[in-house]
A and B are shown apart, each in its own frame.
Chain A
């Protein structure tokens, strides 16, 4: 069965960096685009980033562009989110999710999320 497992969250000071990972299993990872989505405490879902199946195309929300970078290693079935210049408003649970069909923007399977807390 499809499984996504995020890791790498934690507490970081403002201006700091963190790298999240998302280990995928149960499907052909290299065939699917992937999203990062976050949810601030008590708030709704916010799309953060999208990476194409081959890693050649990447898109970012305005709120993180220039600070966050997503990448993937298809040989390791792993998705990454490098977060630099972290701010208080980046505090959230970060989910990785799979795009059901190429270019459909349909987040079908989700990981359990990893919490990032930006605080001094």
Chain B
């Protein structure tokens, strides 16, 4: 049950794009389409923004997109806005039938 690997922090200027990676193994990220991304603002509950690698729930901006290659999933945020500043977590279904999260990435909008 090792956590998925994410960079601790990323940053970008308003209007730019940024990408957050999430690396696991063939027993989680690489083995299933069930990779999700969550956004968490300080003091708030996490919010699902991407599910099944590249699907957005209703109401989530199209500026958020996901992809996966092998054991690594990625979240790309285009047209960065101040409101995007938050912590981002990836999660994946695992071969044990459970759930594993990444360590989280703090996005700073400069």
Contacts and interface: CB of A to CB of B under 8 A. Distances in A.
A44 interface: yes
Interface stretch (B13-21, B42-50, B78-86): B42-50
Interface string A5-35: 0000000000000000000000000000001
B98 to A, nearest CB: 5
B99 to A, nearest CB: 4
B1 interface: yes
Contacts, number: 75
Contacts of B57: 108
Contacts of B94: 105
Interface string B97-109: 1111111100000
Interface string A93-120: 0010000100111111111110000000
Interface residues of B, number: 29
B52 A106 contact: yes
Contact of B48 (A61, A103, A106): A106
Interface string B32-46: 101010101000011
Given A47-B99, A110-B45, A100 B104 contact: no
Q: Residue among A45, A61, A100 with the most chain B CB within 10 A?
A: A45
Interface of A: 35, 37, 44-47, 50, 59, 61-62, 95, 100, 103-113
29 contacts: A35-B99, A37-B101, A44-B3, A44-B103, A44-B104, A45-B38, A45-B40, A45-B101, A47-B99, A47-B101, A50-B98, A50-B99, A59-B96, A59-B98, A62-B1, A95-B45, A95-B46, A100-B48, A104-B93, A105-B34, A105-B99, A106-B36, A106-B48, A106-B91, A107-B38, A107-B99, A108-B57, A110-B45, A110-B46
